[in-house]
């Protein structure tokens, strides 16, 4: 077992305090030296993996509400920059600790260090991961548990178990990315993981006692695959979803957990402990374009009542169905937010740009990180300009939100794949979610929203379906909204919400950015002021900003690329041949539409 670090239950102290200003019950200090190690969690392949302090998996972090963690991160990777994001923590007033490279900080270059000051103000199940360059599937991710001595389900369980689910790749992310976002992969088929892991192993044996109730915290720390999770012979009653305590739900046989999602469930063991039970995590194979030969998308673990008894093989399930989280009711009873002050429609789709590679788009725009982290732009372009989306750059897909406004996101998924969308700095009410293939959201009398909607920070929109989310813009900061499939994130399925920039400036005293964060920018040669292009004089002049690859030539279709990729045996496809093919296609078809994104 990896040594996590444990904090004594000090929240009682906190709740006794009458002071309105936060009193950090306990302050932990932890050093993370981030470096390559080798690991072989599926027993099939030794691979370089990102470890912490010489070990993999990285340590689980446990704290109690009210604790604070000073995390000193030293980048000893040698060949990669890094960062740490605490997924699901709102970072209220500490936007610069959010860890998103290009948004709230510069990447920590090799040889540099940076300190995160993390305040655990929310109870629940979270995780931390690198937030740079598609890096976390290299192994830099682990669960975070924030205990809640006053939690609504205290006393209902005897013990707690934490289990991560993940997918595992044998090849390094950077080489997978090179092949993935490439003219040779015009359809954008995602890299398929080699294995599934339960708690970073394929031999998980969870010792339990008969006749007890466990709070089981499940967190998907994977890159791509959603998992069906079940325990044979046992039911699960959901009580937490993404850090939100819910009323105890009806017993579920099976959960569907997409990357970045968390559930806590109550699981009561059997009265007689004379048998062991298989626990299965099955990656959703519908997400995979190809299933490589020899692929086993399932991983089995066991609830072990008796070491002397055999570990049974799991039974085959004919149809994988799962618990529907839509009707979960938060214990706090927070009602449906009223009519939105601002509604953002995001039409998501995948398509090709002029280099023939496949990208992801919101409203025909693909995300490209700015030269200056967006938060630093918000703080340095001057109060008037900070509210102008333009200064954050064309390809950051910026939306400026007014303080305390009710924001609605209508997400129309024009792609046939599912996408787990995540919002930093908030959770949102999921007020509508269509079945697959429902098309775009159309508001009419037929649709009613739940009075107390389920709230979470990562939610799956179905293929060619839609969903509607609401939240209050009560956390000034710059927050990403993105698909949590790491491959899609790298394809640009990301938007930037600049929330209450004026209040943000006021809230972060003295400019707010810690000196070591700015030092990381200097060490990396990244500008830390001005607009998205690093222009400090005329912040409305974006010349030189990072832009996406230009669109396909007019009239050119993705089919052309697919045909081309199929017919060209040579891997040496230069731009010349692309231009040639594009011209041919145009002559045949005449001028096409205006959309920079080709339909497929």
Ligand X SMILES: *[C@@H]1O[C@H](CO)[C@@H](O)[C@H](O)[C@H]1NC(C)=O
**Residues near ligand X, by CB under 6 A:** 1-2, 4, 36, 48, 57, 60, 79-80, 90, 92, 161-163, 172, 174, 199, 206, 282, 296-298, 316-317, 320, 426, 474-475
- The site partner of 75 among Cu ion, ligand X, none (C-beta below 5 to 8 Å per kind) is none
Instruction: From 12-20, 441-449, 476-484, 511-519, give the range in contact with Cu ion by CB under 5 A.
Output: 476-484
CB under 8 Å, gap of 24 or more: what pairs does 328-331 form?
Answer: 328/238, 328/241, 328/246, 328/247, 328/249, 328/454, 329/246, 329/247, 329/452, 329/454, 330/244, 330/245, 330/246, 330/247, 330/452, 330/454, 330/455, 331/152, 331/245, 331/246, 331/247
Q: What is the footprint of Cu ion within residues 400-429 (CB under 5 A)? A: 419
Q: Which is nearer to ligand X, 197 or 357 (CB)?
A: 197
CB distance 213 to 266 below 8 Å: yes
Q: How far is the CB of 139 from ligand X (least distance, A)?
A: 11
Q: Which is nearer to Cu ion, 234 or 349 (CB)?
A: 349
Q: Which is nearer to ligand X, 497 or 581 (CB)?
A: 497
Q: Which is nearer to Cu ion, 80 or 485 (CB)?
A: 485
Q: How far is the CB of 289 from Cu ion (least distance, A)?
A: 14
Q: How far is the CB of 420 from Cu ion (least distance, A)?
A: 7
Q: How far is the CB of 419 from Cu ion (least distance, A)?
A: 3
- The site partner of 419 among ligand X, Cu ion, none (C-beta below 5 to 8 Å per kind) is Cu ion
Instruction: From 190-198, 279-287, 402-410, 478-486, give the range in contact with Cu ion by CB under 5 A.
Output: 478-486
Cβ atoms within 10 Å, residue 116: 25
- DSSP per-residue codes, 1-44: ----B-----HHHHHH---SS---S-EEEEEEEEEEEEE-TTSS
Please report whether residue 350 would count as binding Cu ion according to CB under 5 A.
no
- The site partner of 107 among Cu ion, ligand X, none (C-beta below 5 to 8 Å per kind) is none
- The site partner of 483 among Cu ion, ligand X, none (C-beta below 5 to 8 Å per kind) is Cu ion
Please report whether residue 485 would count as binding Cu ion according to CB under 5 A.
yes
How far, in Å, CA of 532 to CA of 384, rounded? 16
Dihedral angle, C-alpha 19, 21, 25, 31, nearest 10 °: -170
Q: What is the size of the binding site for Cu ion (CB under 5 A)?
A: 4
Q: What is the DSSP letter of 439?
A: -
Please report whether residue 520 would count as binding Cu ion according to CB under 5 A.
no
Q: How many Å separate Cα 222 from the centre of its chain? A: 9
Cβ atoms within 10 Å, residue 443: 10
Instruction: From 40-48, 444-452, 482-490, 543-551, give the range in contact with Cu ion by CB under 5 A.
Output: 482-490
Instruction: From 32-40, 52-60, 285-293, 488-496, give the range in contact with Cu ion by CB under 5 A.
Output: 488-496
- Cα–Cα distances in angstroms (integers) from residue 98 to residues 88, 109, 178, 261, in the given order: 10, 17, 27, 18
Q: Which is nearer to ligand X, 471 or 556 (CB)?
A: 471
How far, in Å, CA of 196 to CA of 401, rounded? 39
Q: How far is the CB of 287 from Cu ion (least distance, A)?
A: 9
- Cα–Cα distances in angstroms (integers) from residue 439 to residues 212, 361, 463, 467, in the given order: 46, 17, 9, 10
Q: How far is the CB of 199 from ligand X (least distance, A)?
A: 4
Candidates 118, 454, 483, 500; binder of Cu ion (CB under 5 A) is 483
- Cα–Cα distances in angstroms (integers) from residue 190 to residues 173, 182, 366, 427, in the given order: 12, 11, 17, 28
CB distance 191 to 224 below 8 Å: yes
Q: Which is nearer to ligand X, 4 or 354 (CB)?
A: 4
User: CA neighbours within 13 Å on the CB side: how many for 292?
Assistant: 13
Candidates 422, 488, 505, 517; binder of Cu ion (CB under 5 A) is 488
Q: What is the sign of the dihedral through the CA atoms of 51, 53, 55 and 58? A: negative
Q: What is the DSSP letter of 485?
A: S
Instruction: From 254-262, 382-390, 430-438, 483-491, give the range in contact with Cu ion by CB under 5 A.
Output: 483-491
Q: Which is nearer to Cu ion, 217 or 419 (CB)?
A: 419
Nearest to 6 by CA among 142, 137, 145, 110: 145
- The site partner of 161 among Cu ion, ligand X, none (C-beta below 5 to 8 Å per kind) is ligand X
- Cα–Cα distances in angstroms (integers) from residue 320 to residues 157, 230, 285, 437, 497, in the given order: 28, 10, 11, 19, 36
Q: How far is the CB of 258 from ligand X (least distance, A)?
A: 18
Nearest to 496 by CA among 405, 403, 391: 391
- The site partner of 79 among ligand X, Cu ion, none (C-beta below 5 to 8 Å per kind) is ligand X
How far, in Å, CA of 351 to CA of 366, rounded? 10
Q: How far is the CB of 119 from ligand X (least distance, A)?
A: 11
Q: How far is the CB of 488 from Cu ion (least distance, A)?
A: 3
Q: Which is nearer to ligand X, 49 or 396 (CB)?
A: 49
The residue at minimum Cβ distance from ligand X is 48
Q: Which is nearer to Cu ion, 105 or 462 (CB)?
A: 462
Q: Which is nearer to ligand X, 109 or 596 (CB)?
A: 109
- The site partner of 485 among Cu ion, ligand X, none (C-beta below 5 to 8 Å per kind) is Cu ion
Q: Which is nearer to Cu ion, 121 or 415 (CB)?
A: 415
- The site partner of 517 among ligand X, Cu ion, none (C-beta below 5 to 8 Å per kind) is none
CB distance 49 to 37 below 8 Å: yes
Please report whether residue 47 would count as binding Cu ion according to CB under 5 A.
no
Q: How far is the CB of 121 from Cu ion (least distance, A)?
A: 29
How far, in Å, CA of 392 to CA of 388, rounded? 8
Q: Which is nearer to ligand X, 334 or 518 (CB)?
A: 334
Beta-strand (E) ranges in 311-463?
342-352, 358-362, 398-401, 406-413, 419-423, 428-433, 455-456, 458-461
CB distance 277 to 306 below 8 Å: no
Cis bond leading into 57, ω under 30°? yes
Q: How far is the CB of 435 from ligand X (least distance, A)?
A: 22
Q: Which is nearer to ligand X, 415 or 457 (CB)?
A: 457
Q: What does the binding site for Cu ion look like in residue numbers (CB under 5 A)?
A: 419, 483, 485, 488
């Amino acid at each position: 077992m990896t040594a996590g670090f444990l904090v004594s239950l000090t929240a009682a102290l906190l709740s006794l305090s009458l002071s309105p200003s936060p009193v950090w019950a306990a302050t932990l200090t932890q050093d993370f030296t981030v470096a390559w190690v080798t690991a072989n969690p599926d027993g099939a392949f030794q691979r370089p993996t990102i470890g912490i302090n010489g070990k993999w998996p990285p340590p689980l972090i446990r704290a109690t509400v009210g604790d604070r963690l000073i995390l000193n991160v030293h980048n000893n990777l040698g060949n990669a920059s890094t960062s740490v994001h605490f997924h699901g923590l709102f970072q209220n007033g500490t936007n610069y600790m959010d860890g998103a490279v290009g948004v709230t900080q510069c990447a920590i270059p090799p040889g540099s260090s940076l300190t995160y000051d993390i305040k655990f103000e929310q109870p629940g199940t979270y995780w931390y991961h690198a937030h740079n360059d598609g890096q976390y599937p290299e192994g830099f991710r682990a669960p975070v548990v924030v205990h809640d001595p006053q939690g609504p389900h205290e006393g209902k369980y005897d013990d707690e178990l934490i289990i991560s689910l993940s997918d595992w790749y044998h090849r390094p992310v950077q080489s997978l990315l090179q092949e993935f976002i490439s003219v040779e992969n015009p359809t954008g088929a995602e890299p398929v993981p080699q294995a599934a892991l339960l708690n970073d192993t394929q031999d998980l044996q969870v010792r339990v006692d008969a006749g007890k109730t466990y709070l089981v915290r499940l967190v998907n720390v994977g890159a791509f695959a959603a998992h069906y999770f079940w325990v044979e012979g046992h039911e699960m009653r959901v009580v937490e979803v993404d850090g939100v305590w819910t009323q105890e739900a009806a017993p579920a046989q099976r959960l569907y957990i997409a990357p970045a999602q968390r559930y806590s469930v109550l699981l009561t063991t059997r009265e007689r402990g004379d048998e062991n039970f298989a626990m299965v995590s099955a990656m959703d194979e519908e997400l995979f374009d190809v299933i490589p030969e020899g692929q086993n998308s399932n991983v089995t673990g066991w609830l072990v009542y008796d070491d002397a008894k055999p570990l049974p093989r799991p039974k085959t399930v004919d149809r994988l169905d799962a618990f529907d989280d839509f009707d979960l009711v938060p214990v706090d009873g927070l009602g449906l937010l009223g009519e939105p002050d601002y509604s953002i429609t995001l039409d998501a789709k995948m398509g090709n740009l002029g280099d023939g590679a496949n990208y992801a788009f919101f409203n025909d725009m693909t995300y490209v990180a700015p030269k200056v982290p967006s938060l630093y732009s918000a703080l340095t372009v001057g109060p008037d300009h900070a509210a102008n989306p333009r200064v954050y750059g064309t390809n950051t897909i910026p939306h400026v939100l007014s303080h305390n406004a009710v924001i609605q996101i209508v997400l129309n998924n024009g792609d046939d794949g599912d996408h787990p969308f995540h919002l930093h700095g908030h959770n949102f009410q999921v007020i509508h979610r269509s079945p697959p293939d429902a098309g775009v959201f159309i508001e009419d009398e037929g649709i009613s929203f739940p009075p107390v909607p389920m709230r979470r920070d990562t939610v799956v929109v179905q293929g060619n379906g839609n969903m509607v989310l609401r939240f209050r813009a009560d956390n000034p900061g710059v927050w990403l909204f993105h698909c949590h499939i790491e491959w899609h994130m790298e394809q640009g399925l990301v938007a930037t919400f600049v929330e209450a920039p004026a209040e943000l400036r006021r809230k972060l005293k003295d400019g707010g950015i810690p000196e070591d964060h700015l030092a990381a920018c200097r060490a990396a040669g990244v500008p830390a002021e001005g607009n998205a292009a690093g222009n400090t004089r005329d912040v409305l002049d974006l010349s030189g900003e990072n832009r996406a690859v230009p669109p396909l030539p007019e009239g050119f279709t993705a089919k052309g690329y697919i045909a081309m990729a199929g017919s060209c045996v040579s891997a040496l496809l230069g731009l010349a041949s692309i231009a040639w093919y594009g011209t041919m296609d145009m002559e045949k078809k005449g001028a096409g539409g205006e959309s920079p994104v080709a339909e497929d």
